[in-house]
Amino acid sequence: MSEKRAQCLTGKGVTKVFGLGDKKTVAVDHVDFDFREGEIISIVGESGSGKTTLSKMLLGLISVSEGEVMFQGKPRDISTNQKKKEYWKGIQAIFQDPFSSYNTFNKIDSVLLDCINMRGGKSLPYDQKFEMMREACSFVNLEFKELTNKYPFELSGGQMQRLMIARIFLLKPKILLADEPTSMIDACSRATILDMLLKLRDEINMTIIFITHDIGLAYYISDSVYIMEHGKFVEHGKAEDVILHPKATYTQRLINDVPKIYEEWDLSTV
Partner 1 sequence: MGKVMLEVKNLKTKYVTRQREDVFAVDGVSLKIEEGKSLGVAGESGCGKSTLALSLIGYYFPPLHYISGDIIIDGKNISGMKPDEVRKKVLGTEVAYIPQAAMNALNPTQKIIRFIEDVIHVHDPKATKKDIYDKAKERFAVLGLPEEVLQKHAVELSGGMKQRTVIAISTILSPKVLIADEPSSALDVTSQKMVIKMMRELMEKGFIRSMIFITHELPLLYNVTDDIMVMYAGQIVERGTAREMVFDPLHPYTKGLMGSIIVPEEGVRENKLVAIPGTPPNLKHPPKGCRFADRCKYASPTCTAMEVPNLEVPSKESDANREYRCLMSVRKIREVYENE
Partner 2 sequence: MKNTLRQVFHSPKFVIGFVIFAALLLTTIIYPIIVTADPLEMVGNGNFFKPGTYVSVKDSVEGTRYTLNVDVKAGSLDSKISAEDKESMKEWLTKFGGVAEADINLEDTEGLIALWEANYSEDADQPGLTASRKKYFVRLNKNIDGVLLDSDVIIAQKDPETGELVESATIGSKEFVNTKDVANKKTFILGTDNFGRDVLTELVDATKTSLRVGLIAGIIATLIGLFLGLISGYMGGVVDDLIMFITNMFTVIPSFVLLILISYSVGQNARGVNLVGIIIGLTSWTWTTRSVRSQVISLRNRDHVNLSKLSGHSMMRIVLTDILPYLASYVVMAFILQISSGILSEAQLSMLGLGPSTSNAATLGLMMNWATAYAAPLNGSWWAYFPVVVTIALIAFSLNLMNTGLDQVFNPQLRD
Q: Given the rule CB under 8 A, which residues bind partner 1? A: 46-47, 141, 156, 158, 186-192, 194-195, 213-220, 239-240, 243-244, 253-255, 257-263, 265, 267, 270
Which one-letter DSSP state was computed for residue 152?
Answer: G
- In the list partner 2, partner 1, none, the entry touching 85 (Cβ below 5 to 8 angstroms by class) is partner 2
Tell me the C-alpha distance between 268 and 65, whole Å. 42
Rank residues 68 and 154 by Cβ distance to partner 2 and give the closer one: 154
User: Smallest gap, in angstroms, from Cβ of residue 218 to partner 1?
Assistant: 8
User: Smallest gap, in angstroms, from Cβ of residue 255 to partner 1?
Assistant: 5
- In the list partner 2, partner 1, none, the entry touching 250 (Cβ below 5 to 8 angstroms by class) is none
Residue span 58-77 as binding mask against partner 2, x where in contact by CB under 8 A, dash where not:
-x-x----------------
Tell me the C-alpha distance between 194 and 184, whole Å. 13
Count of CB atoms situated within 10 Å of the CB of 80: 9
Tell me the C-alpha distance between 260 and 265, whole Å. 5
| Contact by Cβ (8 Å): 45, 215 | no
Tell me the C-alpha distance between 37 and 228, whole Å. 21
Within 8 A by CB and 6+ apart from 256, the residues are 266, 269
Rank residues 122 and 247 by Cβ distance to partner 2 and give the closer one: 122
Tell me the C-alpha distance between 13 and 121, whole Å. 38
Considering only residues 49, 92, 212, 251, which one is a binding residue for partner 2 as defined by CB under 8 A?
Answer: 92
Considering only residues 93, 132, 165, 243, which one is a binding residue for partner 2 as defined by CB under 8 A?
Answer: 93
Tell me the C-alpha distance between 13 and 237, whole Å. 18
Is residue 101 a contact residue for partner 2 (CB under 8 A)?
A: yes
Within 8 A by CB and 6+ apart from 39, the residues are 2, 5, 8, 201, 207, 208, 222, 223, 224
User: Smallest gap, in angstroms, from Cβ of residue 118 to partner 2?
Assistant: 6
Considering only residues 102, 139, 169, 233, which one is a binding residue for partner 2 as defined by CB under 8 A?
Answer: 102
Is residue 100 a contact residue for partner 2 (CB under 8 A)?
A: yes
Rank residues 99 and 220 by Cβ distance to partner 2 and give the closer one: 99
User: Smallest gap, in angstroms, from Cβ of residue 93 to partner 2?
Assistant: 6
- In the list partner 1, partner 2, none, the entry touching 239 (Cβ below 5 to 8 angstroms by class) is partner 1
| Contact by Cβ (8 Å): 215, 14 | no
Tell me the C-alpha distance between 163 and 170, whole Å. 11
* Amino acid residing at 53: T
Enumerate binding residues for partner 2 (CB under 8 A): 56, 59, 61, 81, 84-85, 88, 92-93, 95-97, 100-106, 114-115, 118
